[in-house]
Structures are given as C-alpha cells and as structure tokens.
Chains A and B, each alone.
Chain A
Amino acid sequence: MRLRPALGFGLLTVTALVLQTAVVPRLAIGRVSPDLLLIICVYLGLHRHSVGGALGAFTLGYLQDTFSGTVAGLNAFGMCLVFTTVYLTSRRLWVDNTVSKLVVVFLASVLKTAAVLVLIAIFLATEWNWRALLGYLLGDAVLTAACSPAVFALLSRARRAPVAEDAYA
C-alpha cells in the first residue's frame, strides 16, 4: 500500500471511528446502529488482497475493542474473520457492482456479530436475550449495508492507486 492511500485510509478510519463512537450512538434508532469500521474491513477484503489488508482489518477490530470498552480481541477476531471470508469469496466471485457489495456487507455484518456473540458466549459467559440480539443483529446489518455505498465511494477516492494494484501479488 502506497503512502498516500495509506494516509487516506488512516484518516478515513479515524473519521469513521470518531463517527462511530461520538456521533452514531446519538443518532442510533433504539440500539441499532451502523458499523462503519466493518464497511472499511469489507472494502479491504475486496480490494486489498495483501498482508497489509489483513493487518488493517485486525487494527480496525482492535481499535473498535479499545473504544467500545470491551475485552480486546473480540472485534479484532470478528474483523479478521470478516476480512478472511470476504477475501476468499472475492477470489472466487466477482463482487464489483453496488448490489453485490450491499449483500456482502450485510452478510459480513451478520457474520461478525454472530462471531462476536459466539466468542462472548465462550469466553465471557454473559447472559442475554437471543431474540432481542437477533433483532439488533439484523438491524445493524441492514443499516451497515445501507451506509456502505457512501463509505465505499470515499474509500475509492482515498485509494487513488489502481484497483487491486498489489492484489494477487
């Protein structure tokens, strides 16, 4: 990843983090809110087929853990899982139009939330209401998918470098 796109990604990540921690909670409908960092993670999985992309996904998750006040590793695992899944999928399926990206983001959101919930169940043994969680899971996924076109557009601008410049390298 070149310096300029990396700076752009960094800036967008920080912006998304600030939005996610300071702005989105105030606008959240009930407890449902979009996961902006996940969209960046999906973008990395689709367009950054490199170790840097994997590290980026881990960093996104780690940042999310840090700022969400949860145990470190929870979102980091979820983001890495999403990156890996999207990466493997995009190697076999052509995901380039808006609708397919929306679907990928929706499924990625569901996958990440499910993974996080499983990890919570295993490591933290917290009691919860599965029915309510399912509602949040789907609500979050829909909102995240709805926000993804705008975030993808910003990321594409920040990227500048040709698509998959270092992919399959």
Chain B
Amino acid sequence: MLEFVRRNRVVLASGSLLLVALLLLSTGARNRQRLDPLSAILLEILRPAQTVGAAAMRSAQHGWRRYVALAGVQRENDLLQQRVHELEQQLGRIAEIEATAARLEQLLAFDAGLHLDGVPAQIIGRDSDPWAGALTINRGERSGVVKNMAVLSPQGVVGQTTAATAHSARVLLLTDHNSGIDAMVQRSRARGIVQGALDGGCVMKYVQRGEDIDVGDRIITSGLDGIFPKGVDIGTVTHVTRGTRGLLQVAEVKPSAAIDRLEEVLVVRGAPTASEPTP
C-alpha cells in the first residue's frame, strides 16, 4: 500500500489538488463576491509589481503612439512641402503668363496705334558677341518677314531685319555699330543718322552744326530710309558734342527701348506709312 502511494504520489497529489480546486470552486460559486483571505494577501503582495508593469506598458504605448503620431506629422509635412513647392511653381508660371500677356497687349496696342501691318515675334536668341548687337526672332519668310524690315517695341525702335529663313529672322539692333537709321529731333526737326556705339548706346551723327539739338531732346525716325515708319521713338539725347571746327555735331542718344530686356517685338511688314504715329 505504502509502495503504491510512493510510486503514484504525483498522480495522487494531483488528484487531491483537483478535488481541492473543485471544492474551492463549489464554495466560491455560492458566494461569488467574496474574496478569500489568501487571494487578498496575494493581490496585496503582487500589487506593486502589477503597478510597475502597467505603468511600463502605458509608457511604452504612449511612446509608441507619439512615435506613430510624429511619423504621421513628418509624412504630412513632406506632403505639404511638396504641395507648397508645386503651388510656388504654378504661381511662377501664372506670373510669367500674366507678364507675357501684358507685354503682348502693349505690343498689340502699339501696333494698332501705328496702323501698320505688323507681326508680333518672340526673341529666341541673342548674339553672344558683346561687340555685336543682334537678335534672332521666331518669325521668318513663312510669316512674311524678309530682309530690311523695321523691328519695333512699344517703347520704340529695336532694329531691322538683316536676314530671314523660313521660320526665323536675324535682327540688327539699333545699338549695333553697323546700324544706321534716318532720324530727326522731334522738337526742332533737325535730321541726322542714328548709329550704334560700342558702349551699347547710340549716337546721332551728321547733324549740321547750325541745327538746334540739345540734351533731353527726343529723337524719332524720319521715315525717309524706307524701312522705319515716320515718328517712332528712338531715344533721348544725353550729350551733345560740338567741336570748335567742322560742319557737324554729334549727339549721344539713350535708346528708348530696353533692348536687353525685350522678349517680344513687332516686325513691320510692307511699306511704312508717311504719317507720324500717335504715341
């Protein structure tokens, strides 16, 4: 008997404990609200460990939520920055379109004021040589643009075409030293030839010594060269040189057109009108 108990003590102990558990259960089932003293002691002993465990878990969860929230904010920030970048680009494009529209409107108004057969053209190239003044425009023979046509801007004379292909044309600028435009002083009607100077400005040459020309005078086209219509603004006199000898005087002229900043021009097709245009 003792040997049986010794050999099966684990099973017997387990069976006894099962019975104890059932006893506990049947007792507890009758009074579910009651906490037995041993459970109360165990709860009290293990309460600090539970508190620490729960606090650690809360901290970990809080940290995780913050991390997730920060990751979300970072993502949102990236998206917003991308959006700002897109909108800035869009804004830049719109501003550019607005500026172009304003310039074209000005050009068309100028064209209408001159009563000319003008064709608007975009500048697609500039001469890289600092001593030369030439442009390339996107209109050529297909648009009726040929050699020796006046090229204007709303501010005044730009130059004249010197060569044309099917879809582009070369423009010799007013400021190029090879250019020559028959001009006159608007106030006194004194005549001369405006040519480019090497410093990027212009000079009015061949003005007779006795003619009335002074600083501030407005120089306009005379219309006698058969290229430029009469009365188009060329520039303003900034300095007059009258030598002690000789029959002529020379005036330095500042071009009215901002040639370096031009983006669109008007090419005058056909014969220029004889009448001076309204400004």
Contacts and interface: CB of A to CB of B under 8 A. Distances in A.
A71 B28 contact: yes
Nearest to B45: A14
Chain A interface bracket (under 10, 10 to 19, 20 to 34, 35 or more):
35 or more
A49 interface: yes
B25 A51 contact: no
A81 B11 CA distance: 10
Contacts of A66: 38-39, 42-43
Interface residues on B, range: 20 to 34
A139 interface: no
A74 B57 CA distance: 28
A74 B20 CA distance: 11
Contacts of B52: 18
A57 to B, nearest CB: 7
Contact of A58 (B10, B17, B23, B36): B17
A34 interface: no
A63 B21 contact: no
A123 B29 CA distance: 6
A76 B49 contact: no
Interface stretch (A20-28, A102-110, A130-138, A148-156): A20-28
A84 B11 CA distance: 7
A74 B11 CA distance: 19
Q: Is the interface of B mostly helix, strand, loop or mixed?
A: helix
**A contacts with B: majority SS:** helix
B181 to A, nearest CB: 88
A80 interface: yes
A18 B53 contact: yes
| A-B pairs, 10 with minimum CB distance | A73-B24, A73-B25, A77-B21, A22-B53, A71-B28, A18-B53, A76-B21, A66-B39, A84-B14, A22-B54
Interface of A: 14, 17-19, 21-23, 26, 49-51, 53-55, 57-58, 61-63, 65-67, 71-74, 76-77, 80-81, 83-84, 87-88, 119, 123-124
Given A54-B14, A83-B14, 16 more contacts: A14-B46, A21-B50, A51-B9, A51-B10, A58-B17, A67-B43, A71-B32, A73-B25, A76-B24, A80-B21, A84-B11, A84-B15, A119-B25, A123-B25, A123-B26, A124-B29
29 contacts: A18-B53, A21-B50, A22-B50, A22-B54, A23-B54, A26-B57, A51-B9, A51-B10, A51-B13, A53-B10, A57-B14, A57-B17, A62-B38, A62-B42, A71-B24, A71-B25, A72-B25, A72-B36, A72-B39, A73-B22, A73-B23, A74-B21, A77-B18, A77-B25, A80-B14, A80-B21, A84-B11, A123-B26, A124-B29
